[in-house]
Structure 1
Amino acid sequence: MNFFDKTGKMALGSRMRLLTSKMTDDAAKIYELYNVEFSPKWFPVFFVLGEDGEKTITEIAEEIGHSQPSVTKIIKEMVAAGVVAANAGAADKRTNVVGLSEKGKQLSEKLKVQLLDVEAAVETLIAEARHNLWEAVAEWEFLLDQKTLLRRVTEEKKNRESKAVQIVPYERKYQSVFKSLNEEWISTYFTMEEADYKALDNPETYIIEKGGQILVALYNDEPLGVCALIKMDDPDYDFEMAKMAVSPKAQGKNIGWLLGCAVAEAARQLGAKKLYLESNTLLKPAINLYHKLGFKKVVGRSTPYERCNIQMELNLNQ
């Protein structure tokens, strides 16, 4: 069985590198076929200078999508081979401008015949293939520019791990977890306040007995996230989403999102039309989560927390 049939798509990078290696090896032999002393890796830089004339190394790097150190290294090799003249025509010799030397310009003319043959050979390869690799590569480049492979894998990892998450109602055995998870993040960024102690030390009295709820996120049966739905005595809001905390070791498992969705649904089931919350813009991941859940910023409300510098609401009827 072919190695890549065994590995599957996880070896895509390795397979692409192998294909690139085959193409590069043949490219070197093709230059030899036409009696041209030329390294295949020079071609993108050589092409740009042949088409556009003198350019800075930064401009070349941006155009061909290489790093500046990589282009600098290639330029040094091309200068050593006499194909490129460094600082050609630069008024300021400190400016890193390069251009084709006379030898390079002559080589450019010589390569035109070779390039015609290469173009024709690639066209025959495309015609023989069931799939147009050239067009497929362009499409993949576009898609990966929109969302990198790393981001796609991260999302799949989150989706897989989130399937092991259960959102369950609060029980007395979770009181210590409810308190410790919240104390951890509050103490990391701010100072514990009187309102924190009221909710965390007596969650049943302060939250549940007043008509609120506390939800706990279990990952493989371990409580790693919590969030409260607190009943409010307010003409504008029936409930507040508060005391959301996720263990650092559970970050990246969609627990915050799952808790937020569950709390919003609980508020809907209790007949709430809007859900309120308070936070601090220093907590960028949390703010991003709230925006993703659909919360919008509101202003002009009083708060018992000194750390609060942003207030938000979620319209539950949308």
Structure 2
Amino acid sequence: MSFYPSLGYLVFGSRLRRLSEYFLMEVNKVYEQQGIAFDASWFPVFYLLSAQQPMPMIDIADQLEISHSAVSQMVTNLKKKGLLKTTPCQEDGRRQLVAFSPKGEELLQQVQPIWQAITNAMDHLVMENKQSQQVLTAIAQIEQSVQQQPLSARIKQQL
């Protein structure tokens, strides 16, 4: 038996991280093979902006459930690459609105077919095993449960 499955929930987070890193690596491989200079870690910001732009940086942070600082760092990085631009919000000059630059719009057009291919490939992957079809539902349920009571509190109760 493999090391990871033998430890059950003790390595749950490690297995999820390992699987996540594998998926990101494989997706990045596809972008590279297609000659597209895109990193899978940029996907959440690109996807949000593909649906609505300009978007306040704070709204991006809220939607992605990450810190404003993390969004600011990513936006700064993507601005340096010439993919995004920011402008002060007219209603509140302290807020920054984020939008694609022309180069970012062009990149978006290149990556959208890859996103559809990823969706199709993942649909086929989960169809290979009936239990896999429940993975997104199960993850959502775990996320909801730990929002109600953090894992650390649950562990503390067991001590």
TM-score with structure 1 length normalisation? 0.46
Could you tell me which residue of structure 2 aligns to residue 156 of structure 1? 158
Amino acid in structure 1 at the alignment position of 2:143: E
Match of 1:114 in 2: 114
Q: Deviations over 1:243-276 (max 9, x none)?
A: xxxxxxxxxxxxxxxxxxxxxxxxxxxxxxxxxx
Distance 1:90 1:155 in 2: 46
Mapped to 2, the partners of 1:8 and 1:95 lie a distance apart of 45
Aligned residues: 156
Instruction: Look up the SS of the partner of 1:109 in the other structure.
Output: helix
Change (3 A) 1:120 1:94: same
**CA-based RMSD:** 1.7
Q: 2:45 & 2:73 partners in 1: Cα distance?
A: 11
Aligned partner of residue 158 in structure 2, secondary structure? helix
Give 1:94 shift.
4.4
Aligned equivalent of 2:136, options 134, 137, 145: 134
Percent identity between the aligned chains? 25
Query: What residue number does 1:270 align with?
Result: none
- The answer to whether the 8 A contact 2:57-2:95 is kept is no
Tell me what 1:143 maps to. Answer: 145
Pick closer, same or farther for the CA change 1:21–1:93 going to 2, 3 Å.
same
Match of 1:81?
81
**When you count helix as a share of all residues, which structure comes out higher?**
2
CA contact (8 A) 1:28 1:40 kept: yes
Inter-partner Cα distance in structure 1 for 2:6 and 2:136: 26
Between 1 and 2, higher relative CO (CA 8 Å, sep ≥ 6) is seen in 2
Aligned partners of 2:17 and 2:73: how far apart in 1? 21
- What SS class does the counterpart of residue 85 from structure 2 fall into? strand
Which residue of 2 is the match for residue 55 of structure 1? 55
Name the SS of the counterpart of 1:138 in structure 2: helix
Q: Which amino acid aligns with 2:148?
A: Q
Q: Distance in 2 between matches of 1:115 and 1:33?
A: 15
Larger Rg: 1
Report how far residue 3 of structure 1 moved.
1.3
For 1:33 and 1:135, the matched residues in 2 are separated by 32
- 2: distance between equivalents of 1:94 and 1:9? 44
Unaligned runs of 5+ in 2: none
Q: CA deviation at 1:113?
A: 1.5
C-alpha contact (below 8 Å) 2:55/2:97 kept by paired residues: yes
Kept after mapping to 1: 8 A contact 2:89/2:97: yes
Give the secondary-structure state (helix, strand or coil) at the position aligned to 1:85.
strand
Contact 1:55–1:99 (CA under 8 A) maintained in structure 2: yes
Deviation string, structure 1 residues 49-77 (Cα, Å, up to 9, x no partner): 11111122211000011111111111111
SS of 1:82 mapped into structure 2: coil
Q: Secondary structure at the match of 2:99?
A: strand
Q: Which has the higher strand share?
A: 1
Superposed CA deviations along residues 76-97 of structure 1, whole A, max 9, x for unmatched, are: 111111110122x743664322
Give the TM-score of the pair, scaled to structure 2.
0.89
Whether the aligned pair in 2 keeps the contact of 1:34 and 1:114 (CA below 8 Å) is: no
